[in-house]
């Protein structure tokens, strides 16, 4: 009995490719501000960058999970991470530890959030 070779492009694989390209095309306008080398203009973007710098400083000192931000509030310190979750800053921090500058890593993590939310909405529907 001769075993047939699988087709080079399957129908299932081509549907996945079409869906991925459609997701990228539809989210292209939303991704445009994140592809610039500057911080995206927003009401609280600079505050998020300050928090990212603070977490980067703490991780480089060996403090992985901190509740206290010692350099914020004019150097007096602030219990920021008791009230605001720091988990959203660990993805750009990971990108930064691989050598990507802080602003680029922040913008890339926001772009990943846009793409993942589009994929999650598709899966939900």
The residue with greater pLDDT, 122 or 11, is 122
pTM for the full model? Answer: 0.78
**Long-range pairs for 29-37: beta carbons < 8 A, 24 or more residues apart:** 30/114, 31/111, 31/114, 31/115, 34/107, 34/108, 34/110, 34/111, 34/114, 35/107, 35/111, 36/107, 37/103, 37/104
pLDDT of residue 51: 93
For the segment 62-85, the average pLDDT, to the nearest whole number, is 90
At 9 the pLDDT is 56
Q: How far apart are CA 103 and CA 108, in angstroms?
A: 9
Token pair belonging to 106 = 């922040």
pLDDT at 53: 94
Which pLDDT tens digit goes with each residue over 12-49? 567 778 888 888 888 888 888 888 888 888 888 899 99
Confidence band (pLDDT; 50, 70, 90) for 121?
Answer: confident
């Amino acid at each position: 009995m001769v075993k047939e070779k699988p087709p080079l492009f399957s129908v299932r694989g081509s549907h996945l490719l079409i869906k991925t390209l459609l997701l990228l095309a539809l989210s292209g306008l939303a991704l445009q501000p994140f592809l610039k080398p500057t911080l995206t203009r927003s009401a609280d973007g600079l505050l998020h960058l300050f928090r990212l710098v603070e977490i980067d400083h703490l991780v480089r000192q060996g403090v992985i999970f901190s509740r206290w931000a010692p350099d914020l509030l004019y150097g007096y310190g602030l219990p920021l991470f008791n009230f605001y979750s720091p988990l959203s800053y660990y993805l750009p921090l990971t990108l930064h530890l691989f050598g990507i500058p802080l602003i680029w890593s922040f913008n890339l993590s926001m772009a990943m959030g846009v793409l993942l939310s589009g994929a999650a909405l598709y899966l939900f529907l």
